[in-house]
Structure 1
Amino acid sequence: MAEYLVELYVAQGDHTAARRQAASAERAGTDLAREGRAVRYLRSIFVPEDETCFLLYEADSADLVTEAVARAGLRLEHVSAATTSVAGAQESPDGTTKGTRMTSTTSTTTSTSTTSTTPTGTTGAPDLAELRDKQQKVWSSGDYNKIAALTVPVSEHLVDHVGVSPGDRVLDVATGTGHVALAAARRSAEAVGIDYVPALLDIARRRAAAEDLAVELTEADAEHLPYDDASFDVVLSAIGVMFAADHEAAGRELVRVTRPGGRIGLASWTPEGFVGGMLRTVGAHVSPPPGAQPATRWGTEEVVGGLLGDGVTDVRSVTATVRQRFADAAAFADLFLTYYGPTFSAAGRLDEEGRAALRADLVALAESHDRGEGSRGLVCDWEYRIVTATRR
């Protein structure tokens, strides 16, 4: 039998969650083996800094491993046929093996025949500039303006929650089509927005002109804000900075440009919510670029507090949901596969069979979140978290 690695997401690098996942995976493998199936759980490799737990199985096929993971009630990110052994891992007291680096594996996921040679947790820093360029191209693909309207309520909630007031100088980081910047301008604030996708900034400018709102819009990325220290009373981002390539640098920049006593407010999709599930579904079909961190880390208060660091105080958060309606689950999947950068880009890397499998998984995800209220169409609640902090 061949050896296979299963990659699972572990929010916040939680040791207890990793141990629980490993125990469930072991029980599922044992149950299948008792049924005469050619699959055997071997061990787990936990890489907390990457929020990842790898499960090592021995089996006749990747399909059997996928079945074992499904029986364990776990959502996998990838199933890979291990061509080399796991290195740098040590047995830990909590029952998992903690890994510090891992050699390359060759992807055998059924949705794509693409070969992956991306090491996880390897020594050597990832090329974040290259990653930023790749992500910029992803967000420039599709037509995000067709999707952006879904997040208007999130942006309005963020501006209200932080309490933007007339005369505040407000920065909207990763403004996209300008939701937060426009909402701040409507409250008579001095609104500034940055984004690294020129086409989205053009849309934001047209929207501002249509409402006769004064909004300054500049092309820049979240890791290199073109402003002096302490330039803003309020720094905000709604479903934006969470997609930065370098999370640590973006966190430092948010703090740097906020004046002492100023406020930072960030709205991000949660790992546990609908969009967190959608991004994991995409990742199960197409491997993320080397060095990419889960965007939904920003949907966890403790992670954001760590990214903002000692320069802030009074870190707190609230969760909320935004209700979304579609004709049906298929309409949701087709909308996002056609227009939403991450799903559009992922689908473009797959063959026809792979795209069909991705679409089927997106449909299944949407159906699993349908509130089933008896009304026509699909009704889903998408969870997000607003984290606020005060600059010291």
Structure 2
Amino acid sequence: MGTTSDIQTIKDGMRKTWMAGDFGEVAKFIQHHADDFISSLHITPEKRLLDVACGTGNLAIPAARAGASVTGIDIADNLIEQARTRARAESLDIHFEVGDAESLAQPDAAFDFVVSMYGAMFAPRPERAAAEMVRVCRPGGTIAMANWMPDTFIGDMFKIVGRHVPPPAGLPSPALWGDPDTVRQRLNEGFSDLSTSPVTVIFEYPFAVPEVVEFHRMFFGPIERAWAKLEEDGRQALRRDLETHWDRHNEATDGSTRVKAQYLKVVAIRAAA
């Protein structure tokens, strides 16, 4: 994929992307996705859980409410600060730190659960992120991911943005983490069980599609950064394409916005030693 300096440049760009806008605002509208995901894992008290690419704590916080001992890592400093603020507001003892999904600071076999929702899938070298999640998961432990699927609503939205502002050359599409065959190739050793299933989730906003697109233009880092790289004509073309995409999928008829999207739920059980 290139030299060490090339990778560092890509990672610096990714950090700036996820620190741009204010993902905390976006996270509020998908918190229910995370609540349902954590609930489905049946986490019991005292289990050790690592949330990889935790953002503002959408998975970490409900896991801690369930009694787990939780650590969250993310590449974006400002999101870690928001996660800490959220945990303090609920008096939850969660350890949040800035970290890299491809080079976790945590020791081998340290966690009963290693989870990631719409997060680790964006690491530029997926094989390294996969290896790190496996390394820190104990034998008999669970790796669980929620990854946007290709050729579905969010996958297509990223394609639209990529047509206007192409991603760095040579990077695999993050949406490949939403393809069952690719997941099995990446998690192909050391597991006693691996299951994948598509899950439908809802995006619901109490405002119309143009305001939804503007909301993401302001707060969602990948779109905010793409917007900043375009001239005015390009910005308006991107806006039109995004509005068309949201309009096409909008099921609401009352001036609000309600769109269905799909992620691939991945649950892998690490084989006992």
- Give yes or no for TM over 0.5: yes
Task: Say if 2:78 is the partner of 1:199.
Answer: yes
Tell me, what secondary structure is at the counterpart of 1:309?
A: coil
Q: Give the C-alpha shift of residue 157 in structure 1.
A: 2.0
Task: Say if 2:61 is the partner of 1:182.
Answer: yes
Q: Provide TM-score, normalisation by structure 2.
A: 0.94
In 1, are the aligned partners of 2:190 and 2:270 still within 8 Å (CA)? yes
In 1, are the aligned partners of 2:204 and 2:257 still within 8 Å (CA)? yes
Deviations 1:298-333 (A, max 9, x none): 112221222223022311122222212231111111
Q: Provide TM-score, normalisation by structure 1.
A: 0.66
Structure 1 segments, 4+ long, off by >4 Å, are 123-126
Tell me, what secondary structure is at the counterpart of 2:187?
A: helix
1:388 paired residue among 245, 256, 267? 267
- Name the stretch that deviates more: 282-291 or 258-267: 282-291
1:368 paired residue among 233, 248, 264? 248
More helix by percentage: 2
Residue equivalent to 1:71: none
CA distance in 1: counterparts of 2:18 and 2:244, whole angstroms: 25
5 Å-filtered alignment, 1:136-147, equals 136-147=15-26
5 Å-filtered alignment, 1:93-242, equals 127-242=6-121
Tell me, what secondary structure is at the counterpart of 2:80?
A: helix
Q: Give the C-alpha shift of residue 125 in structure 1.
A: 6.3
Deviations 1:165-189 (A, max 9, x none): 1110000000000111111100011
In 2, are the aligned partners of 1:154 and 1:267 still within 8 Å (CA)? no
5 Å-filtered alignment, 1:1-392, equals 127-326=6-205, 327-372=207-252, 374-392=253-271
One-letter amino acid of the structure 2 residue matched with residue 339 of structure 1: F
CA distance in 1: counterparts of 2:269 and 2:28, whole angstroms: 29
CA distance in 1: counterparts of 2:124 and 2:144, whole angstroms: 19
Give RMSD over aligned pairs.
1.5
Return the structure number with greater relative CO, CA threshold 8 A, min gap 6. Answer: 2
Q: Give the C-alpha shift of residue 212 in structure 1.
A: 0.5
One-letter amino acid of the structure 1 residue matched with residue 152 of structure 2: G
Distance 1:128 1:309, change over 3 A: farther
CA distance in 2: counterparts of 1:376 and 1:352, whole angstroms: 28
Residue equivalent to 1:75: none
CA distance in 1: counterparts of 2:211 and 2:75, whole angstroms: 29
In 2, are the aligned partners of 1:254 and 1:308 still within 8 Å (CA)? no
User: What count of residue pairs does the alignment treat as equivalent?
Assistant: 269
Tell me, what secondary structure is at the counterpart of 2:44?
A: coil
